[in-house]
Amino acid sequence: QKLLPDQYQLRSLGSNDFARGHLDVLSVLTQTGTHTYHDWLDQFQYMQSHADTYFSIVIEDQALDRVVAVGTLFVERKFVHDNGRVGHIEDIAVANDQQGQRLGLRVIQALQYIGRQQGCYKIILDCATKNIPFYEKCGFQQKESQMVMYT
């Protein structure tokens, strides 16, 4: 079985992905805001200059020149666990018309691989209850509770 459909490529987020609909895919998840390309590039360049902390990846449909799936691993450095590192999986989204082709699974598998390569002793994430079965399929298990305070 092929890992990705033909003409799809999994790679790091690139500076041209704004034009390929990076934020359109993220808008499946939540409100993205009203970015100009300059606003988007600001954040992209910050992440590039902290490339040992932010690992943003995309799946691109190369035939359509369009981003179809996105995700980020944020690597947190800690004192505990002998200056250990924890990977946080954030902002996973697959375009509405592309869901159900295992693109989400491939994004998560790639981020898990990066997390292991970066020496993370664990990888964690927050998700809606309805997404628990998806993350279980990706190898995660439920643990404790999530809390939030909007500021």
Residues in touch with ligand ACO (CB under 6 A): 28-29, 89-94, 99-105, 125-127, 130-131, 133-134, 137
What CA–CA distance (Å, rounded) separates 84 from 82?
5
Smallest gap, in angstroms, from Cβ of residue 8 to ligand ACO?
A: 12
Smallest gap, in angstroms, from Cβ of residue 151 to ligand ACO?
A: 20
CB closer to ligand ACO out of 24 and 90:
90
Q: Which residue is listed with tokens 């399929």?
A: 137
CB closer to ligand ACO out of 8 and 40:
8
Closest CB to ligand ACO belongs to which residue?
Answer: 104
DSSP 25-52: HHTTTS------HHHHHHHHHHHHTTTT
Smallest gap, in angstroms, from Cβ of residue 125 to ligand ACO?
A: 4
* Chain mean position to CA 56: 6
Smallest gap, in angstroms, from Cβ of residue 7 to ligand ACO?
A: 17
Q: Return the sign of the alpha-carbon dihedral for residues 14, 31, 120, 110.
A: negative
